[in-house]
């Protein structure tokens, strides 16, 4: 087996692996046996078809392709282990480049590698932190949060009357520019709450007074910075058909409302909301400090080329996190994109810089853990597993996932990262 190695850009390495015709022979035999088990040929048992008969039936190319797959599976790990220094990430790209009867076989693999990192100073950054005890929640913030809770628990009832302020309506929307329908400007069964801005300010108010089955036409000016460039700064025509009208009754701010949320008194609800807001503020302040600290260490450090696969994976993960957050709050991600006036592609492009920063932070933490010999013991992992199993007791799928070996490695990374962050805070905190 002959192997040549080539350094590529973006921390990638290409290996070209060649097997001689003689080295390929045993894999051709295995390939023929595998194919013969899957092809029915009269007069022969599965797996017992002679090579020449099989070749005549399905062609030599099909046998060679199966032989190549087996050969790659049998040789790729050895080729990587003996020729690659450092840590590959993700799955290698594999391409067969030469495959013909009675000839050597050649295939190429491309591996993305963890880039080299030269750490700068990470023990004397001295980032100022906020006094967490000073982070309080005002009455206005508390009542605003309670109002959101009331909105989420509004009692909705179908009504046969004109639309009023505070109602919810389900509508079909068509938008036009100079009486020409706009591509992508249609929506079916869209929920609109009267009194709350919907995409374009003033849209909801134009529906007051209509009834189920009615259609209302009106025009609205679109802002100059609208995400649909062809509509920016223009007067856009709307045709809205009312499918259903719901009255909305919000729960009163009293002890009964608190009871719906598992509490006894409304004052208890206010206190809980206040504590949650303050806890969230403290968490955000901690996160802000950690981000500033890591950003400064990143500025002081030098990174090799970051593999594209790492940034792409992190961008996808950020999109998943965002979508999960929206759906957890009862929203639809497409509606969220509409509300922020972004397309899916535009949002991905906006996330790329933050994704790159997150990748660099992860690589940085990993390198500091290696240099400082910060490790996680098996007992620490087991303790965390026990906590999670207790927290999710009765959720069989979650329990099974927590017990998987791969999840233990995930926990090891999470706990190691936390240890590094805490150590960095000890070195760099300046109150």
Partnered with residue 49 across adjacent β-strands are none
**Which pLDDT score, from 0 to 100, does residue 329 have?**
67
Helix, coil or strand: residue 179: coil
* Cα–Cα distance list, 404 to 307, 382, 395, 408 (Å): 29, 12, 15, 7
- Within this chain, domains 2-113 and 154-249 share the same CATH topology: no
Higher pLDDT residue, 108 or 344?
Answer: 108
**Which pLDDT score, from 0 to 100, does residue 194 have?**
93
* Tokens 């397309």 -> residue: 343
pLDDT at position 341 over 80: no
Q: Confidence band (pLDDT; 50, 70, 90) for 369?
A: very high
Q: Confidence band (pLDDT; 50, 70, 90) for 227?
A: low
The beta-strand segments (E) located in 250-307 are: 302-303
- Count CB neighbours of 54 within 10 A: 21
pLDDT at position 336 over 90: no
Higher pLDDT residue, 161 or 405?
Answer: 161
- Count CB neighbours of 427 within 10 A: 13
**Which pLDDT score, from 0 to 100, does residue 38 have?**
82
Can you say how many angstroms the Cα of residue 41 is from the centroid of all Cα atoms in its chain?
48
Looking at the whole model, is its pTM more than 0.75? no
* Tokens 């109002």 -> residue: 147
Q: What per-residue string of b and e applies to 219-238 under the rule 16 or more CB within 10 Å gives b?
A: ebebeeebebeebeebebbb
For the ranges 10-14, 206-210, 388-392, the lowest mean pLDDT is seen at 10-14
Name the residue among 246, 250, 249, 231 with its Cα closest to residue 171: 246
**Which pLDDT score, from 0 to 100, does residue 41 have?**
80
Strands 2-8 and 12-19: antiparallel
Of all helices (H) and strands (E), which one includes residue 259?
Answer: helix 255-260
**Which pLDDT score, from 0 to 100, does residue 48 have?**
78
- What's the length of the chain? 431
Number of H helices, E strands in the chain: 12, 13
Domain 154-249 annotated CATH 1.10.287.110: no
DSSP, residue by residue, 327-351: HHTT--HHHHHHHTT--HHHHHHHH
Taking residues 335-362, what's their average pLDDT?
A: 87
pLDDT digits (tens, 9 = 90+) for 272-299: 999 999 999 988 888 888 999 999 999 9
Average pLDDT in the chain = 90
**Which pLDDT score, from 0 to 100, does residue 308 have?**
87
- The encoded tokens of residue 87 equal 């840590």
**340-347 — which CB contacts under 8 Å span 24+ positions?**
341/225, 341/226, 341/227, 341/228, 342/227, 343/227, 346/227, 347/319, 347/322
**Which pLDDT score, from 0 to 100, does residue 326 have?**
80
Partnered with residue 2 across adjacent β-strands are 18
Taking residues 111-131, what's their average pLDDT?
A: 86
Determine the Cα angle at 332 with ends 330 and 338, to 5°: 130
CATH architecture of 2-113: 2-Layer Sandwich (3.30)
Q: Domain coordinates of the chain in residue numbers?
A: 2-113, 154-249, 275-430
Taking residues 387-392, what's their average pLDDT?
A: 92
For the ranges 237-246, 308-317, 374-383, the lowest mean pLDDT is seen at 308-317
Q: Which residues, including other chains, have CB under 8 Å from residue 374's CB and lie 6 or more apart?
A: 368, 416, 419, 420, 423
Taking residues 155-176, what's their average pLDDT?
A: 94
CA end-to-end span of the chain = 61
- Helix/strand/coil (H/E/C) assignment for every residue in 360-399: HHHHHHHHHHHHHCCCCCHHHHHHHHHHHHHHCCCCHHHH
Q: Confidence band (pLDDT; 50, 70, 90) for 431?
A: low
Helix, coil or strand: residue 44: coil
Fold (topology level) of 275-430: Trigger factor, domain 2 (1.10.3120)
């Amino acid at each position: 087996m002959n192997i040549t190695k080539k350094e590529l850009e973006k921390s990638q390495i290409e290996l070209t692996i060649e097997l001689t015709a003689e080295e390929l022979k045993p894999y051709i035999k295995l390939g023929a046996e595998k194919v013969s088990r899957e092809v029915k040929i009269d007069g022969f048992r599965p797996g017992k078809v002679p090579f020449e008969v099989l070749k005549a039936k399905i062609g030599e190319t099909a046998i060679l392709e199966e032989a190549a797959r087996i050969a790659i599976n049998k040789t790729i790990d050895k080729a990587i282990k003996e020729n690659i220094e450092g840590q590959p990430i993700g799955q290698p790209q594999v391409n067969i480049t030469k495959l013909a009867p009675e000839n050597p076989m050649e295939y190429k693999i491309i591996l993305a590698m963890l880039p080299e990192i030269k750490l700068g100073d990470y023990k004397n950054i001295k980032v100022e932190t906020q006094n967490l005890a000073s982070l309080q929640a005002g009455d206005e913030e508390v009542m605003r949060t309670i109002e959101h809770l009331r909105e989420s628990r509004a009692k909705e009832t179908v009504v046969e009357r004109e639309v009023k302020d505070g109602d919810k309506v389900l509508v079909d929307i068509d938008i036009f520019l100079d009486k020409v329908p706009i591509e992508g400007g249609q929506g079916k069964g869209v929920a609109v709450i009267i009194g709350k801005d919907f995409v374009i300010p003033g849209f909801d108010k134009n529906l007051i007074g209509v009834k189920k089955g009615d259609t209302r036409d009106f025009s609205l000016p679109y802002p100059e910075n609208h995400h649909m460039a062809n509509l920016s700064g223009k007067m856009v025509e709307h045709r809205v058909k009312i499918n259903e009208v719901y009255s909305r009754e919000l729960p009163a701010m009293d002890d009964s409302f608190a009871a719906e949320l598992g509490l006894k008194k409304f004052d208890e609800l206010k206190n809980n909301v206040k504590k949650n807001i303050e806890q969230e503020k403290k968490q955000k302040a901690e996160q802000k400090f950690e981000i500033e600290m890591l950003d400064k260490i990143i500025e002081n450090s030098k990174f090799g080329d970051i593999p594209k696969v790492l940034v792409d994976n992190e961008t996808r993960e950020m999109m998943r996190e965002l979508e999960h957050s929206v759906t957890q709050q009862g929203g639809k991600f497409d509606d969220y994109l509409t509300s922020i006036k972004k397309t899916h592609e535009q949002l991905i492009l906006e996330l790329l810089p933050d994704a790159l920063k997150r990748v660099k932070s992860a690589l940085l933490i990993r390198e500091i853990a290696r240099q400082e010999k910060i490790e996680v013991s098996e007992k620490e992992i087991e303790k965390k597993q026990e906590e999670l199993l207790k927290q999710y007791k009765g959720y069989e799928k979650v329990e099974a996932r927590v017990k998987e070996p791969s999840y233990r490695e995930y926990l090891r990374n999470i706990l190691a990262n936390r240890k590094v962050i805490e150590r960095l805070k000890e070195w760099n905190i300046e109150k």
